[in-house]
A and B are shown apart, each in its own frame.
Chain A
């Protein structure tokens, strides 16, 4: 069952194509990795799918429902969660309160919302930090916070923008494990990732973008040997 179908999605800002004719689909329960050099349009693609940026043209279908151009709160209400590249925790509130705000989508009662939030916080291994303010958490912990908060709305599809970006090396394996653990819960994941090794390890499919265009889409093995991908990524491969 396709959970998300994107066809010819395009967006330009002042004449510059941030995304042009991008098409792909995602199988329910799988992980799609999105790669591409800086400025390839990965984050724009996320914003288009989740409604934060209004697309110019194309089709976006979530299950059979058209979600092209509708507002972000409605899209998230259908079951599309997301995290942000530039982290956006509710800084002046505690971790628990952050996650509870998400949990209220499913639970109207405050006690049940609290319990639901705690279970998710436990899932992301931050239970001891529950009363810490978001601004006091480390970057890695804030990434977990964003994941927990997005999961609290009980999404069927979760878009994660750079799970391992900006954290130190020791923190990365834990976050990767968490993504795998998340997949086991049955949620479908699209993740933007710079580290090519991680992408190959966790993804069922990979979408490669360059300069706003799709240059490859397929299983990790095919992508790894795709000449265009190698060209676009030349140098970045070495670094990773």
Chain B
């Protein structure tokens, strides 16, 4: 008896598979080296979009996958991030490096304000409320003159490339690195989160809120924490995206499509799994970008048709996402039988 307990206690808490670690390290080095091999601007753009969407999907994964709340209006935080950064930069000349944090801060505030009443709702009620939230933000910004109403904000361009203003006109490579670094930092932090006490408790809230309550977990507070974390991951992507395309308007950054695609990427890759959003983004973003190239302007509809179709197929046949094709013990935990 005791010996079995002793053996169990001597196990490592996490199964660290050295092969996987070295593969990941290799991939990271490769990603840093890629632009040095003279990628053309399309491929740089493709990777930038993959990094950005992976982070956005990870944001959704935190609220939906970890804490089980389905937000259908998550694009709101993307838009808040985009507007906050651009507005402070244009009005007060504050460098985006600082106003990214404004964006995060404002998003966090909104997440708390929205979260306190709404996260008392569960399931469908919450999903419907977030759908309304997402569209409400779009409606409000379309009419808000201070931020350019429907025509949006045209970010003041610097004459030359500038790290301070986070604007690069001659090459996309600097953007590539900025997005890559944010991508890596986000995934590292979320990976830490998933292994922390907070991560465990969020999963408890997701799987059974009542059982969680019986284990001293204040379910509403934990949902709000997850919502705030999620919003703070989403906002910087909005900020960086604004600096990347240098023009933002309500239809672009509060588009319901953003809320759709983060959900789709996560569900496709594997919801509740730290790695899911990477897999989902690596597959879906190229589909979207290529369909836009080959099908011209109407590509928007074709990629959405595909999204809808993929989403339904995944829900029917692989509700745990593509990650479920990979044996669990390789990536995640030690499951000795």
- By a beta-carbon cutoff of 8 Å, the part of chain A in contact with chain B is 50-52, 71-73, 76-77, 81-82, 84, 88-94, 97, 100-102, 104-105, 108, 110-111, 113-115, 118-119, 121-122, 127-128, 130-132, 149-150, 152-153
Contact = CB atoms under 8 A, between A and B. Distances in A.
A131 B337 contact: yes
B214 A50 contact: yes
B5 A149 contact: no
A105 B4 contact: no
B111 to A, nearest CB: 21
6 contacts: A72-B210, A77-B216, A81-B214, A101-B215, A128-B4, A131-B336
Interface string B1-32: 10011001100010000000000000000000
B210 A88 contact: yes
A104 B337 contact: no
Interface string B30-56: 000000000000000000000000000
Contacts of A84: 210-211, 214
Interface string B180-218: 000000000000000111001101100110111111111
B211 A88 contact: yes
B219 interface: yes
Given A84-B210, A89-B208, A110 B196 contact: yes
Given A131-B334, A132-B337, A152-B215, 12 more contacts: A76-B215, A88-B208, A89-B208, A90-B204, A90-B208, A90-B211, A93-B204, A104-B197, A122-B8, A131-B337, A150-B215, A153-B215
A93 B216 contact: no
Given A93-B207, A114-B13, A72 B213 contact: yes
A73 B1 CA distance: 34
A119 B5 contact: yes
B214 A110 contact: no
A203 to B, nearest CB: 23
B333 interface: yes
| Range of interface residues on B (Cβ < 8 Å) | 20 to 34
A101 B4 contact: no
The 7 A-B pairs of least Cβ separation, nearest first, read A90-B207, A88-B211, A72-B213, A77-B216, A122-B5, A73-B218, A101-B204
Nearest to A108: B197
B337 A73 contact: no
A214 B280 CA distance: 58
Looking at B195, B215, B335, which has the most chain A CB atoms within 10 Å of its CB? B215
Nearest to B8: A118
Nearest to B5: A122
Contacts of B197: 104, 108, 110, 113
A88 B211 CA distance: 6
B217 A73 contact: yes
A124 to B, nearest CB: 12
A131 B4 CA distance: 13
Given A73-B219, A94-B333, A127-B5, A89 B200 contact: no
A80 to B, nearest CB: 9
B200 A97 contact: yes
Contacts of B200: 97, 100-101, 104
Nearest to A119: B5
Contact of B5 (A89, A92, A118, A153): A118
Nearest to B207: A90
B205 to A, nearest CB: 10
Contacts of A89: 208, 211
B335 to A, nearest CB: 5
Contacts of B201: 101, 104
A149 B216 CA distance: 12
A82 B214 contact: yes
Looking at A94, A131, A132, which has the most chain B CB atoms within 10 Å of its CB? A131
A72 B203 contact: no
Nearest to A113: B197
A73 B213 contact: yes
Contacts of B213: 51-52, 71-73, 76
Nearest to B329: A131
A82 B212 CA distance: 11
B4 A92 contact: no
Interface string B322-337: 0000000000011111
A76 B1 contact: no
A108 B195 CA distance: 13
Contacts of B210: 52, 72, 84, 88
Contact of B1 (A90, A108, A122): A122
B11 to A, nearest CB: 9
Contacts of B215: 76, 101-102, 105, 149-150, 152-153
A27 B204 CA distance: 32
Contacts of A111: 13
Contacts of A132: 337
Nearest to A72: B213
B214 A150 contact: yes
Contacts of A73: 212-213, 216-219
B14 to A, nearest CB: 9
Given A73-B213, A73-B217, A93 B203 contact: yes
